[in-house]
Chains A and B, each alone.
Chain A
Amino acid sequence: EDQVTQSPEALRLQEGESSSLNCSYTVSGLRGLFWYRQDPGKGPEFLFTLYSAGEEKEKERLKATLTKKESFLHITAPKPEDSATYLCAVQGSYNFNKFYFGSGTKLNVKP
């Protein structure tokens, strides 16, 4: 069964303190791995798509990487406005209409 596990559940950082969020997955043929940011009371906002092991994508202070079993979202020198819940989702080749989501990592960046 396709499955996504994110860790840690919550992460508290000081402003400027870099760290990484983990997304471990099992899927029957990875079609795509997606990262989203979700603010309280809002819908998820798309950040990145990764398709194959070794791929990397960057956007401002965020960098997403992918291996055959997991993805990392690296946050460099975070600011308080980076505080949000970060969601990971995978899409398998068997049924590409289904996106399987992890439960997210809630990031809190203190000034």
Chain B
Amino acid sequence: DGGITQSPKYLFRKEGQNVTLSCEQNLNHDAMYWYRQDPGQGLRLIYYSQIVNDFQKGDIAEGYSVSREKKESFPLTVTSAQKNPTAFYLCASSIDRSGTSPLHFGNGTRLTVT
């Protein structure tokens, strides 16, 4: 079955540590996205990538970094510079770069930083 796989489902880290969230898709989609979801707020865009080796900042990129070395993979690193890292992180993809297709989401990673 084609889809987006995010791992791990739950992640616990101590403050001051960097952590990397995995996102893999086998849908052959060009574009990939990272969103953050907090209670009572809409999804907020962290980073997106339209093609391999290229990515752009979203609305809340500070304290995060990404890479896109392969079409299938778009890992997100939450760095120690991110002030409020505890959240539910969602990876998404869309079929093409022109933005005419909907986003398809993985099942998220819940990150807790103490």
Contact = CB atoms under 8 A, between A and B. Distances in A.
Interface string A88-100: 0101000011111
Interface stretch (B14-22, B74-82, B102-110): B102-110
Given A44-B105, A46-B102, A99 B45 contact: yes
A14 to B, nearest CB: 26
Contact of A104 (B4, B35, B42, B108): B42
Given A31-B99, A96-B98, A97-B56, A43 B105 contact: yes
Interface in A16-36: 31-32, 34, 36
Interface string B72-114: 0000000000000000001010000011101111111010000
Interface in B1-53: 4, 6, 31, 33, 35, 40-45, 48, 50
A72 B108 CA distance: 27
A71 interface: no
Contact of B107 (A32, A42, A89): A42
A34 B104 CA distance: 11
Nearest to B59: A98
Contacts of A98: 45, 48, 58-59
Given A46-B102, A97-B99, 19 more contacts: A31-B100, A32-B100, A32-B102, A34-B102, A36-B105, A41-B107, A42-B107, A43-B4, A43-B106, A43-B108, A44-B90, A44-B103, A44-B105, A87-B43, A96-B100, A97-B31, A99-B45, A102-B42, A104-B42
Contacts of A103: 40-42
Interface residues of A, number: 24
30 contacts: A4-B42, A31-B99, A32-B100, A32-B102, A34-B103, A41-B107, A42-B107, A43-B90, A43-B92, A43-B105, A44-B43, A44-B103, A46-B102, A46-B103, A87-B42, A89-B43, A89-B103, A96-B98, A96-B100, A97-B31, A97-B48, A97-B50, A97-B99, A99-B43, A99-B45, A102-B42, A103-B40, A103-B41, A103-B42, A104-B42
Nearest to A98: B45
